[in-house]
Amino acid sequence: MKLGFIGGGAMAEAIVSGITSQHLLSCKDIYISDHKKARCEYLQTTYNVNSCIGSESFIDKLDMVILAIKPQTAVKAINEIKDKITANTVVISIIAGITLDTLESYFSNNAVIRVMPNTPMSVGAGMSAICAGSKASENHVTAAEKIFASAGKAIVIEEKLMDAVSGLSGSGPAFIFVIIDALSDAGVKAGLKRNMAIELAAQTVLGSAKMVLESGLHPAQLRDQVTSPGGTTIEGVHIMEQKGVRGAMIDTVTAAIEKSKLMGKQ
Ligand SMILES: NC(=O)C1=CN([C@@H]2O[C@H](COP(=O)(O)OP(=O)(O)OC[C@H]3O[C@@H](n4cnc5c(N)ncnc54)[C@H](O)[C@@H]3O)[C@@H](O)[C@H]2O)C=CC1
Ligand SMILES: O=C(O)[C@@H]1CCC=N1
- 3-class SS string, 140-194: HHHHHHHHHHCCEEEEECCHHHHHHHHHHHHCHHHHHHHHHHHHHHHHHHCCCCH
Please check whether residue 6 is in contact with residue 77, taking contact to mean a CB–CB distance below 8 angstroms: yes
Is the C-beta atom of 170 inside 6 A of ligand 2? Answer: yes
CATH superfamily of 172-265: ProC C-terminal domain-like (1.10.3730.10)
Contacts of 34 (CB under 8 A, 6+ apart): 7, 8, 9, 12, 40, 43, 51, 53
Separation between Cα atoms, residue 264 and residue 255, nearest integer Å: 14
C-alpha of residue 78 to centroid of ligand 1, in Å: 13
For residue 266, is pLDDT > 80?
A: no
Looking at ligand 1, which atom is closest to the CA of residue 97?
Answer: 41
Q: Give the DSSP H/E element, type plus range, for residue 52.
A: strand 50-52
Separation between Cα atoms, residue 174 and residue 151, nearest integer Å: 19
Task: Classify residue 57 by burial, with Cβ atoms within 10 Å: 0-12, 13-18, 19+.
Answer: exposed
**Residues facing residue 131 across a β-bridge:** 114
Separation between Cα atoms, residue 80 and residue 59, nearest integer Å: 10
Separation between Cα atoms, residue 74 and residue 1, nearest integer Å: 25
Is the C-beta atom of 128 inside 6 A of ligand 2? Answer: no
Which ranges constitute the DSSP H helices of the chain? 10-21, 37-47, 71-81, 100-106, 138-149, 162-165, 172-189, 194-215, 219-226, 232-243, 245-265
Is the C-beta atom of 93 inside 6 A of ligand 2? Answer: no
Phi, psi of 201 (to 5 degrees): -65, -45
Confidence at 265, pLDDT banded by 50, 70, 90: confident
Could you read off the pLDDT of 192-226 as tens digits, one per residue?
999 999 999 999 999 999 999 999 999 999 999 99
Q: Provide mean pLDDT across the span 1-28.
A: 93
Confidence at 24, pLDDT banded by 50, 70, 90: confident
ipTM reported for the complex, 2 dp:
0.98
Could you read off the pLDDT of 163-195 as tens digits, one per residue?
999 999 999 999 999 999 999 999 999 999 999
C-alpha of residue 224 to centroid of ligand 1, in Å: 41
**Residues facing residue 5 across a β-bridge:** 32, 66
Question: CATH says 3-162 is which class?
Answer: alpha beta
Tell me if 3-162 shares its fold with 172-265: no
Domain residue ranges of the chain, discontinuous segments joined by +: 3-162, 172-265
Looking at ligand 1, which atom is closest to the CA of residue 118?
Answer: 44
CA angle, corner 186, sides to 233 and 125, nearest 5?
80
Contacts of 32 (CB under 8 A, 6+ apart): 4, 5, 8, 12, 16, 40, 43, 49, 50, 51, 52
Is the C-beta atom of 96 inside 6 A of ligand 2? Answer: yes
C-alpha of residue 11 to centroid of ligand 1, in Å: 7
